[in-house]
A = this chain, B = another copy of it.
């Protein structure tokens, strides 16, 4: 089923599991996929920045995406296809769609500056992957150095019918969500799905501002699912209570680059979701001190959310 603007819930950003020697760990892909489904994810996103996508070659990327898609059993899978050029982007996008992907995610190259450059890039990218391929804009200025105003996002949406979703990870970004939903309300932009990244750091309020859910890789996607569900049910305080219980750890995981990923993979391995916290080179591993900090945080989270205290 192709992705469309009604998507909601939680699409975890799946890490790519590796063996210690850098080979892809396909068994862990299966286990992780099952886990995501069991905890209530409504989809998943693979080959993102935190999926170590740039470290893969084209064949590996497709193989990984295919494995996730097969195991997902119909749960929509979004495939990151960001690439330095359109030929490589198109190649992966079409192959992934052939394998059953629900859509693709496209990040802007970090050389884009002006509004026109950004809008033009997305128009060309949409054309390159094919206008039958639903795509997600990734708006992550902290990492990509590309700043998109709400008006530019609207322009992309209006110019590209195949744009169906925004991965929102601008920071600060709460007013941006409100502005975009305002554009829909005043009729100047057709509806899109907005899922939030940025490590989940503002998820509690983002859904209150009108976001449809989360697209991030925090090691407790189960918590993300519950927070989004609780908010949807109108249980605001309960949602915040659960979110706040995890915030110290979530914040700790939210360290830029390989450190944050090391925390995430460490916790996921500890939970038994993946076999190893190995990153492909160049990567990072937690120091003993950092591991003890994570353990301390896990123990503290477990006082309020028992899931943090035991294996899945």
Binding site for B on A (CB under 8 A): 53-58, 60, 83-88, 90-91, 110-111, 113-117, 120-121, 124, 142, 146-149, 151-152, 171-172, 174-175, 178, 201-202, 204-205, 208-209, 240, 243-244, 247-248, 251-252, 255-257, 259-260, 280-282, 287, 289-290, 293, 300
Q: Which of B85, B113, B114, B282 contacts A56 (CB 8 A)?
A: B85
Q: Which of B88, B202, B257 contacts A57 (CB 8 A)?
A: B88
Interface of A is mostly: helix
Q: Which of B115, B259, B289 contacts A172 (CB 8 A)?
A: B259
Q: Are A290 and B174 neighbours in the complex by a CB distance under 8 Å?
A: yes
Of the A-B pairs whose beta carbons lie under 8 Å apart in the complex, a sample of 11, sorted by A's number, is A54-B84, A54-B85, A56-B87, A57-B58, A60-B87, A110-B111, A113-B113, A115-B116, A202-B251, A204-B248, A208-B293
Closest 3 CB pairs of A and B: A172-B255, A54-B84, A54-B85
Q: Are A86 and B171 neighbours in the complex by a CB distance under 8 Å?
A: no
A80–chain B nearest beta-carbon distance, Å: 12
- Chain B residues, Cβ within 8 Å of A208: 293
A281–chain B nearest beta-carbon distance, Å: 7
Q: Are B115 and A175 neighbours in the complex by a CB distance under 8 Å?
A: no
A152 to B113, CA, bound (A): 12
- Chain B residues, Cβ within 8 Å of A259: 172, 175
Q: Are A172 and B54 neighbours in the complex by a CB distance under 8 Å?
A: no
